Amino acid sequence: MVAVPEALAGLTAIPGVRTAAQLREPGSGELLAVLPELSRLLPGGGLRRGSTIAVRGATSLVLALLAAATRTGSWAAVTGLPDLGLAAAAELGVDLERIALVPNPGAELVAVLSALVDGFDVVVLGPAPAGGVQPQTARRLADRVRNRGTVLLTAGPWPGAELELRVSGRRWHGLTQDGHGHLRTREVVATSRGRGAAARPLSVGLQLPGPAGAVTAGGSPGRRLVEVAG
């Protein structure tokens, strides 16, 4: 079995993975691209380097936030999501060739996160273990994120997150009135709220996923179908 630090060293040695981290200026405020449908939720219309963003209510929104960034040259790492569906991520637009996976960080979560923050443009953390992350630890990691110019996305609450995105109002579409068919699209409302310029809540309607699996702007399908909450 390879020790976690050695495995992480191997990940960050992938050609190109560290290039962006080495060349960027810490705290530069540079934005990483997001899909147009998501830009209204984020101050400046993108993922600001050095920021921590908590996403609650839908892992699919976390993955959707990676789509444009990975397709425009950024590298991302995902940890703590052992059941991540790569096919669904690809449908949402994520470039799988620019994703590194650490499914189960185990007891070395903080060490794993610290190493990933050093080497990747965006780091995704799955739901925190029972008891969550202690505020002191969260502050230390947030400082590291700021200093390295990384973006930390958490699938769940994060103490002191600069921005929080929440997904609500889920409605699945696809079944006919007699209960036949397939669930094809899910309409949601995504709301963002944070500090400073993001203090005023902003909400957008989305289809997450849309008819082809990707994110699309919200709106009722042409044909009214049975709605399934969830």
Of residues 155, 165, 173, the one with CA closest to residue 219: 173
3-state helix, strand, coil in the chain (%, to 5): 35, 30, 40
pTM summary value: 0.80
Judge: domain 4-164, CATH 3.40.50.300.
yes
Average the pLDDT over each of 40-54, 121-135, 154-168 and give the range with the smallest value: 121-135
For residue 182, name the pLDDT band (cuts at 50, 70, 90): low
Average pLDDT over residues 110-117: 93
Question: 3-class SS at 142?
Answer: helix
Structure tokens at 203: 């909400």
Query: Which is more confident, 4 or 68?
Result: 68
- Domain spans, the chain: 4-164, 165-229
pLDDT (tens digit, 9 = 90+) per residue, 166-178?
Answer: 999 878 766 555 5
Mean pLDDT, range 67-76, rounded to an integer: 95
Give CA–CA dist 153/62, Å, rounded: 7
Find the farthest-apart pair of alpha carbons in the chain and give their distance in angstroms, rounded. Answer: 58
Token duo for residue 66: 């990676």
| C-beta separation of 69 from 47 below 8 A | yes
